């Protein structure tokens, strides 16, 4: 790859209040500072499932999607007016198979799975950002999607799969930030850490059957699905991933990865 090649990331983005967690913020800030500066950012978030593949807003200033409820008013006033990325949208479309339809949703701004981590990592909002949908939750199909997007990295595009390593919200009993992680969250996270270190893509694909802590860790799987786009976009999905962030927030595993 060229000197401009960016890594692919899988990050645990968290709910809007995570921006008030000093440790998590410092971890994300340090991570961004250690990365080469992207020419553009392509986000795939757990919070946008739409088939076929749908390309979001490309115009600067499209309103954010506040896709959450029950939080303090201040979280609904956050702004992140990153530049639009129409050229990146054209490149994404050109990389898709000719026989597969692509939709465009020009009024669909960034959701909190995209903008929450970006407000910490790139607070100046001066890098073009494009969000595309998760067109499926099938891990193998998402790997293939990531493979198609892989050439964008050579053009300085940072590809980010934004989810959460565990996301068993219905089974949480303590909703405080420093809550002790439930056993199912710790067990799944430890299993995932080993699979990431080993580059065991086959086991990760079969996580619903193989991982301890299931189905509590992911009663629905959309928060683990973005991982497979990042894996597919990596130069070698079976390499050992750099595990940049670990630990728990509200009992959920915020393990996050960097893939070369």
| Predicted TM-score (pTM) of this structure | 0.96
Residue 16 in this model has a pLDDT that exceeds 80:
yes
- Reported as a single tens digit per residue, the pLDDT across 190-226 is 999 999 999 999 999 999 999 999 999 999 999 999 9
CATH homologous superfamily for the domain 8-259: LigB-like (3.40.830.10)
For residue range 142-151, list pLDDT tens digits in order.
Answer: 999 999 999 9
* pLDDT higher than 50, residue 1: no
Calculate mean pLDDT across residues 146-162.
98
Locus of tokens 């026989």: 99
Which pLDDT tens digit goes with each residue over 97-111? 998 999 999 999 999
Evaluated on CA atoms 196, 198, 200, 206, the torsion sign reads negative
Number of C-beta neighbours around residue 210 at 10 A: 14
Residue 4 banded pLDDT, cuts 50, 70, 90: low
Q: How confident is the model at residue 14 (pLDDT cuts 50, 70, 90)?
A: confident
Buried b (16+ CB within 10 A) or exposed e, 3-38: eebbbbbbbbbbbbbbbebeebbebbeebbeeeeeb
CB 201 within 8 A of CB 237: yes
Return the domain boundaries, the chain: 8-259
CB 203 within 8 A of CB 210: yes
């Amino acid at each position: 790859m060229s000197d401009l090649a960016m890594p692919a990331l899988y990050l645990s983005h968290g709910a809007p209040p995570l921006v008030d967690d000093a440790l998590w913020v410092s971890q994300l800030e340090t991570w961004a500072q250690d990365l080469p500066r992207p020419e553009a950012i392509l986000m795939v978030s757990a919070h946008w499932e739409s088939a076929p593949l749908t390309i979001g807003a490309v115009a600067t200033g499209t309103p954010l999607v506040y896709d959450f409820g029950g939080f303090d008013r201040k979280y609904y006033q956050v702004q992140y007016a990153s530049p639009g990325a129409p050229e990146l949208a054209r490149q994404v479309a050109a990389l898709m198979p000719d026989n597969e339809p692509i939709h465009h949703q020009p009024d669909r701004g960034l959701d909190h799975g995209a903008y929450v981590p970006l407000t910490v990592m790139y607070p100046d909002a001066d890098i073009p950002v494009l969000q595309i949908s998760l067109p499926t939750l099938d891990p193998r199909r998402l790997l293939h999607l990531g493979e198609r997007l892989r050439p964008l990295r050579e053009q300085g595009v940072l590809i980010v799969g934004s989810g959460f390593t565990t996301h068993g919200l219905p089974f949480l009993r303590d909703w405080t930030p420093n809550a002790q992680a439930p056993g199912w969250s710790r067990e799944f996270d430890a299993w995932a850490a080993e699979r990431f270190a080993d580059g065991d893509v086959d086991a990760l694909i079969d996580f619903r059957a193989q991982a301890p802590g299931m189905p509590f860790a992911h009663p629905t799987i959309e928060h683990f699905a973005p991982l497979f786009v990042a894996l597919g976009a990596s130069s070698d999905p079976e390499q050992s991933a750099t595990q940049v962030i670990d630990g728990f927030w509200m009992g959920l595993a915020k393990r996050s990865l960097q893939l070369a």
